[in-house]
A = this chain, B = another copy of it.
Amino acid sequence: MSAALHNDSFLRACLRQPTPHTPVWLMRQAGRYLPEYNATRARAGNSFMALATSPQYATEVTLQPLERYPLDAAILFSDILTVPDAMGLGLSFGQGEGPRFARPVRDEAAVAALQVPDLDRLRYVFDAVAAIRKALAGKVPLIGFSGSPWTLASYMVEGAGSDDYRRIKTMLYARPDLLHRILAVNAAAVTAYLNAQIQAGAQAVMVFDSWGGVLADGAFQRFSLDYTRQVVAGLQREHEGARVPVIVFTKGGGPWLDEIAACGADVVGLDWTVNLGAARARVGHRVALQGNLDPAVLFAPPDVVAREARAVLDSFGPPQRADGAHGGWDGHVFNLGHGISQHTPPEQVAALVQAVHAHSRSQRNPR
């Protein structure tokens, strides 16, 4: 697998194989906190979608953080809402607003009309994956991604971001049949979408269940995790002789760690409310863990950033052979517990990456 890769530490950690240091990447690492990103975006008419739909722009911004920092993975520059957009819901991003759908899915007719989109409408994504892979030239692996069926459904039904998820939760409790139909379509679409990314060259894929944590216990299992599990089960796990790790991240998913760890993914992403050492003790023999620094730490001075990064590494503890049935090692991929803030000073990211690499090396080679 790693023949053509200069740095395969991320893929190895995902698969719980030994690594010389703890690999690190950051959710939303190509983004507005970087002046060079804002410059590219300005050239693209200040339009997020113009960036995302152009393989050339997408490649340019995907690579920007890697030129600044020795990150151990790249992640496709795109948005989780490309799939519902391809379903015909009419995605737009207003200035200073979040995403919005012109045709939300709210009634029986709209639900019945919903279909897995023609993947040709998402060709720009797969073209971007191929272009980024080529541009990376084996420097680090490329992660593809999608929203989870539930997270996509919440945008599709609400029509935009929401404080209280009133529309989709009303559907969940009053018309669960409609919601199950949306989720089944989404699960099939997400599976096909991620498999096409893998075919195009994504070396790992991540499912973002950004809104799973707003569900009640019981509802989370039936309306989010069950469909994520369907997606994971349908993914192509090997491509060109290499294993393709799958990461599942549920923001606010701490209460359901055991169940999420049993969904078939190789890696479980954790937000900052979770105690990493306790999580490792519970599920570290079955899955690798990704996370979980509070992104707000990056507003503090570099010495504090370094100290808090070391605390996360110490909470996980030094890697060692796990006792579990699989005989693998415990794996840790360092990340934030959520996307990096646009207000982050870029210097703090340099301090973070440096501290993760240095401290994790010293964990492996104690004096």
Contact = CB atoms under 8 A, between A and B. Distances in A.
A254 interface: yes
Interface of A: 164-166, 169-170, 172-174, 213, 215-220, 252, 254-255, 272-276, 292-297, 299-301, 304, 308, 311, 315, 337, 341, 343
A173 B305 CA distance: 9
A274 B299 contact: no
Contacts of A215: 273, 294
A296 B337 contact: no
Contacts of A299: 166, 169-170, 173-174
16 contacts: A164-B296, A164-B341, A169-B294, A169-B297, A169-B299, A170-B296, A170-B299, A173-B297, A173-B304, A174-B300, A216-B272, A216-B292, A217-B273, A218-B311, A220-B273, A255-B273
B273 A213 contact: yes
Contacts of A343: 166
Nearest to A344: B166
Copies in the assembly, this chain: 2
Contacts of A293: 216
Contact of A173 (B213, B275, B296): B296
A143 to B, nearest CB: 24
Contact of A341 (B166, B296, B300): B166
A217 B296 contact: no
B308 A217 contact: no
Contact of A254 (B254, B276, B296): B254
Contacts of A294: 169, 215-216, 219
Looking at A254, A295, A315, the one whose CB has the most chain B CB atoms below 10 A away is A254
A360 B311 CA distance: 46
Nearest to A296: B169
Contact of A273 (B164, B166, B216, B308): B216
Given A255-B255, A301-B174, A165 B296 contact: yes
Please provide the 4 A-B residue pairs with the shortest distance between their CB atoms, ordered closest to farther: A169-B296, A173-B300, A216-B272, A170-B299
